[in-house]
Amino acid sequence: MQSFRRLLGYMGNYRGLVALAIACNILTAVFTVVSIPIFQPFFNLLFEQTEPVTTSPETIDSLADLEQYGGYLVTQWITEQGRERALLYVCGLILLSFLLKNIFRYLALFFMSPVRNGIIRDLRNELYSHLLHLPLGYFTEERKGNLLSRITGDVQEVESSILNVLEAIFREPFIIIGSLTFMIIVSPSLTLFVFGLMVFTGVVIGGIGKRLKRSSGEVQETLGEIVSRTEESLGGLRIIKSFGAEEYQSRRFAEINDTYRHRLIRLLWRRDLSSPLTEFLGIATVALLLLYGSREVFAGTMEAGTFIAFIFAFYMVIDPAKNFSKAWYNVQKGLGALERVESVLDVKNPLITSTSVDPPPVASTSVDPLPPNLGGNAGTAHSGEKPTFSGIKFHDVGFRYRPDGPEILQHIDLEIPRGKAVALAGASGGGKSTIADLLPRFYDPTSGHITLDGRNLRDFKLDELRSRFGIVSQEAILFNDTIYNNIVFGMQGVSPQQVEEAARVANAHDFIAAMAGGYQSNIGDRGSKLSGGQRQRLTIARAVLRNPDILILDEATSALDSESERLVQEALQRLMQGRTALVIAHRLSTIQNADQIVVIDRGRIIERGTHGELLERGGAYRKLVELQEV
């Protein structure tokens, strides 16, 4: 029950509402139980089964005597008022007790509603935030659709299966305890007989509940596969249509969907079995109770009215017990979904270290942190004046994506001096992008280390370290939002003038101004309303506005036409002046002016030097240039 206790821990933020809900549930139970003893003496006198009891307060020595004295007071009242008027009063009391019972029952639900939905909000927020902070390596192993299922379907299952029945868990035990107390006072032997039958019922229900929890986990896992398959298909519609693979994908989806149907049917069969099974066992218990209790009535050891009240009390136990068992079924079903959510929440982020501290300032020659046409303001958009630094150095760095996987990088020794541009060249799959990913600590080296200002990257706080980087990747990552918000993304205190200047530097202002909504135009899912070149220029404008200390340009101009590429290259050259830059390019014409070009092949550095030096050397770089010139 560790998962359930963890869920209850979320209630700490709603202590007041939970306390009110519990109080209302207790009052619901009180008024439910209060209605039971009203019937006993009334039936005895109404059916003329017994004379009024004459027990006095002085002779009360036990619970049985207390019951007798209570009966005495009620029967005296009935005798004085007359049977018809007493019947009217008793019916009024019954109506009043049930009215109060249902009022407090509604209030309990009223107070629990914001608790349930608040907990789900908190759980979903925590899960989403945790996903954003997990390292990229985690997502190479997990399917996105499965994660989407956990933050949507699994979290919602927790609400409908667990939180939706919390009031039953809090309320029904009080009703059961109160009714059982009355039953024990009336007839301990009958109560013991009933209790034995209830234990047997609980054992049967508990066994089915365990299987229900296991089945729920399988159902949610299959639902995750459905979401994952749908997400993959929507992302690859162009390829599916071009290859005429609609029927193929439909068959694959239908197979998973059919598996989900079969598993869900089995789950619902087990869940739906709880109510009829509980009711049957309850009726069987009532039948045995009638048989056993009637013998006591015939033998004269129990009055008929008392026996009727006992049955009424037992009825008050059956319905709460059935609700409680149904709630228990739902809890078991929901715990399967909660465990899937917890499997993500419990993933530790190895990139976050407890020893991370703010880096000390480094004394060095200052540089102009802004390109001329940004007016000297954009650099303050997110962190004010930036510290300067001496450079980056790779110390015998090696890297594997998995401990048992192949080596992606081997013995990388590379220095990127402050204010210099270093370009990485080489065939695809050689490890160039992996080197770039190690700098902002998307991954950590599996051997060796990287330093900034002579300080290990692991010693920096992640947010402080990453605030120094501006990244423009080969794939233009944009969001379903306005152009303005995509450029400003993550930065505070930015003015519209700064955004416009950044767009001009990236050669994006003209096409933005030509759109109907200008900078407030929505660009659709992943920028689907824009061309490839337009999307790339927006990501460059975002990097320009960020005004970083270090630039990482991973094929930053690959999606631009020749004219746009020339203009953007000029802007990037201005932005790179006095800054450290790591440039990755397959198009070697874009890196000829780099201060140093490093050729990577199969995870190793095989050549380094300027463009001219490498051409004269006649090695791997020259071959790459000649191949592109053909």
Question: How would residue 213 be classed by pLDDT, with cut points 50, 70 and 90?
Answer: low
Mean pLDDT across the stretch 37-41?
62
Give per-residue pLDDT as tens, 156-196: 888 777 777 777 777 778 788 877 887 787 778 777 777 77
pLDDT of residue 158: 82
- Contacts for 517 with CB less than 8 Å, ≥ 6 apart: 482
pLDDT, the chain, mean: 77
Which residues share a beta bridge with 391?
A: 417
**Residue 417 φ/ψ, nearest 5 degrees:** -65, 155
pLDDT of residue 630: 39
Given a cut of 70, whether residue 501 has pLDDT beyond it is yes
Question: How would residue 388 be classed by pLDDT, with cut points 50, 70 and 90?
Answer: very low
pLDDT of residue 408: 92
CA distance 574 to 628: 27
Q: Within 10 Å of residue 93's Cβ, how many Cβ atoms? A: 14
Given a cut of 50, whether residue 4 has pLDDT beyond it is yes
Question: How crowded is the C-beta side of 242, counted as CA atoms within 13 Å?
Answer: 4
Q: State how far the alpha carbon of 133 is from the alpha carbons of 24, 149, 381, 481, 550, in Å.
A: 41, 18, 23, 22, 22
Between 337 and 214, residue with greater pLDDT = 337
- Span of 258-262, 302-306, 406-410, 412-416 with lowest mean pLDDT: 302-306
pLDDT of residue 598: 94
CA distance 1 to 335: 9
Specify the CATH superfamily of domain 389-466+586-630: P-loop containing nucleotide triphosphate hydrolases (3.40.50.300)
Helix (H) or strand (E) holding 604: strand 604-609
Between 589 and 516, residue with greater pLDDT = 516
Give per-residue pLDDT as tens, 41-96: 556 555 554 444 555 555 555 555 555 665 566 666 666 776 677 667 777 877 88
Q: State how far the alpha carbon of 543 is from the alpha carbons of 132, 215, 385, 472, in Å.
A: 20, 48, 17, 7
Mean pLDDT across the stretch 8-14?
81
Question: How would residue 377 be classed by pLDDT, with cut points 50, 70 and 90?
Answer: very low
Radius of gyration of the chain (CA): 37
Helix (H) or strand (E) holding 456: strand 455-456
pLDDT of residue 337: 79
Given a cut of 80, whether residue 620 has pLDDT beyond it is yes
- Contacts for 222 with CB less than 8 Å, ≥ 6 apart: 256, 259, 260, 263
**Residue 598 φ/ψ, nearest 5 degrees:** -115, 125
Question: What proportion of the chain, given as a percentage, has pLDDT over 90?
Answer: 12
- Contacts for 620 with CB less than 8 Å, ≥ 6 apart: 426, 599, 601, 606, 607
Mean pLDDT across the stretch 108-123?
87
> Domain coordinates of the chain in residue numbers?
13-345, 389-466+586-630
Task: Please report, for the chain, how many H helices and E strands are present, in that order.
Answer: 22, 10
Between 333 and 551, residue with greater pLDDT = 551
Per the structure block, which two tokens stand in for 494? 């930015």
Given a cut of 60, whether residue 228 has pLDDT beyond it is yes
Given a cut of 80, whether residue 364 has pLDDT beyond it is no
Question: How would residue 207 be classed by pLDDT, with cut points 50, 70 and 90?
Answer: low
Question: How would residue 373 be classed by pLDDT, with cut points 50, 70 and 90?
Answer: very low
Q: Is 174:26 a contact under the CB 8 Å cutoff?
A: yes
Q: Is 503:541 a contact under the CB 8 Å cutoff?
A: yes
**Residue 38 φ/ψ, nearest 5 degrees:** -60, -30
**Residue 530: closest CA among 517, 546, 547:** 517
Helix, strand, coil abundance in the chain, percent, nearest 5: 65, 10, 25
Given a cut of 80, whether residue 210 has pLDDT beyond it is no
Q: What is the 3-state secondary structure (H, E, C) of 261-289?
A: HHHHHHHHHHHHHHHHHHHHHHHHHHHHH
Question: What proportion of the chain, given as a percentage, has pLDDT over 70?
Answer: 76
Instruction: For residue 518, give the amino acid letter.
Output: G
Helix (H) or strand (E) holding 411: strand 409-417
CA distance 409 to 432: 9
Does 389-466+586-630 match 13-345 at the fold level? no
**Which ranges of 300-391 would DSSP assign to H, the alpha helix?**
304-345
Give per-residue pLDDT as tens, 459-486: 888 888 888 888 887 777 888 889 999 8
CATH number given to 13-345? 1.20.1560.10
Given a cut of 70, whether residue 100 has pLDDT beyond it is yes
Give the strands of the sheet with 604-609, arranged side by side: 469-472, 550-554, 580-584, 421-425, 596-601, 604-609
